[in-house]
Structure 1
Amino acid sequence: MSQDDILQSTKTVIQGLEALKNEHGKMLENIVGSMQTSTKDTNKIEEKAGLLRKSMDMIELGIGEAQVMMQLGNHLQNLEAEKHKLRTQVKRLCQENAWLRDELASSQKKLHDCEQSNASYSVELEHLKFLKDIKQYDLNDNNSSTINPSSGQTNDLVNDLFPTDDDAYIDQQNANERNQSYADLMMTPSQSASGSFISSTGYEIPARLKTLHNLVIQYASQGRYEVAVPLCRQALEDLEKTSGHQHPDVATMLNILALVYRDQSKFKEAAALLNDALAIREKTLGHDHPAVAATLNNLAVLYGKRNKFKEAEVLCKRALEIREKCLGPLHPDVAKQLNNLALLCQNQGKYDEVESYYKRAIEIYIKTLGIDDPNVAKTKNNLASAYLKQQKYKEAEQIYKDVLTRAQEKDLLNKSAIATQQQENPSGTTGGNYDAQGGWYKTILTDQPTVTTTLKNLSLLYRRQGKYEAAETLETCAAKARKDPQAIIQALNIVKQTNLNTQQPSASTTTTTTTPS
Structure 2
Amino acid sequence: MAENNLLQSTKCLLKDLDAIKNNVTFTSASSEQSVISSKSMELIELSIDEARLMMEFSDYLQKFEMEKHQLQKEVKRLYKENSFLRDELKRTTKNLSTYEQMNSEHIVEIEHLKFLHDVNKYDTSVESLEDEDVNDLFPSSTPATDDDNYPLADVSMITSESAISPSSLSDEFVPSRAQTIRSLVLQYASKQRYEVAIPLCKQTIQDLERTVGHVRTIVCTFELSKKEIV
TM-score for the superposition, normalised by structure 1:
0.24
Q: Do residues 88 (structure 1) and 73 (structure 2) align? A: yes
**Residue 20 of structure 2: aligned partner:** 20
**Residue 8 of structure 1: aligned partner:** 8
**Residue 203 of structure 2: aligned partner:** none
SS at match of 1:93: helix
The correspondence of residues 230-379 of structure 1 with structure 2, limited to 5 A, is none
Q: Distance in 2 between matches of 1:122 and 1:29?
A: 105
Q: Distance in 2 between matches of 1:131 and 1:53?
A: 114
- Mapped contact 1:31–1:49 kept (Cα < 8 A): no
**Residue 123 of structure 1: aligned partner:** 108
**Residue 38 of structure 2: aligned partner:** 53
Number of aligned residue pairs: give it. Answer: 133
Residue of 75, 91, 95 corresponding to 2:60: 75
Residue of 33, 41, 48 corresponding to 1:63: 48
Query: What's the CA shift for 1:73?
Result: 0.7
**Residue 157 of structure 2: aligned partner:** none
Q: Distance in 2 between matches of 1:143 and 1:66?
A: 112
Query: What's the CA shift for 1:25?
Result: 0.8
Name structure 1 gaps, 5 residues minimum: 33-47, 145-465, 473-517
**Residue 158 of structure 1: aligned partner:** none
Cα gap change, 1:143 to 1:49, in 2 (>3 Å):
farther
**Relative contact order, CA 8 A, sep 6+: which one is greater?**
2
Q: Distance in 1 between matches of 2:31 and 2:76?
A: 66
Q: Distance in 2 between matches of 1:57 and 1:84?
A: 40
Query: What's the CA shift for 1:10?
Result: 1.0
Q: Which has the larger radius of gyration?
A: 2
Q: Distance in 2 between matches of 1:73 and 1:120?
A: 70
Instruction: State the one-letter code of the partner of 1:93.
Output: L
Q: Distance in 1 between matches of 2:96 and 2:43?
A: 78
Query: What's the CA shift for 1:91?
Result: 1.3
Q: Distance in 1 between matches of 2:12 and 2:24?
A: 18
- Mapped contact 1:10–1:66 kept (Cα < 8 A): yes
The correspondence of residues 422-461 of structure 1 with structure 2, limited to 5 A, is none
Q: Distance in 2 between matches of 1:60 and 1:118?
A: 84
The correspondence of residues 349-428 of structure 1 with structure 2, limited to 5 A, is none
**Residue 97 of structure 2: aligned partner:** 112
Q: Distance in 2 between matches of 1:66 and 1:127?
A: 90
Instruction: State the one-letter code of the partner of 1:97.
Output: N
**Residue 266 of structure 1: aligned partner:** none
- Mapped contact 1:7–1:70 kept (Cα < 8 A): yes
Higher-helix-fraction structure: 2
Name structure 2 gaps, 5 residues minimum: 130-183, 192-230
**Residue 141 of structure 2: aligned partner:** none
Q: Distance in 2 between matches of 1:54 and 1:101?
A: 69
Q: Distance in 1 between matches of 2:4 and 2:112?
A: 82
Query: What's the CA shift for 1:141?
Result: 4.9
Q: Distance in 1 between matches of 2:89 and 2:14?
A: 60
Q: CA deviation digits over 1:314-359, x for unaligned, max 9?
A: xxxxxxxxxxxxxxxxxxxxxxxxxxxxxxxxxxxxxxxxxxxxxx
Q: Do residues 100 (structure 1) and 85 (structure 2) align? A: yes
Q: Distance in 2 between matches of 1:81 and 1:71?
A: 15
Query: What's the CA shift for 1:78?
Result: 2.0
TM-score for the superposition, normalised by structure 2:
0.51
Seq. identity, %: 42
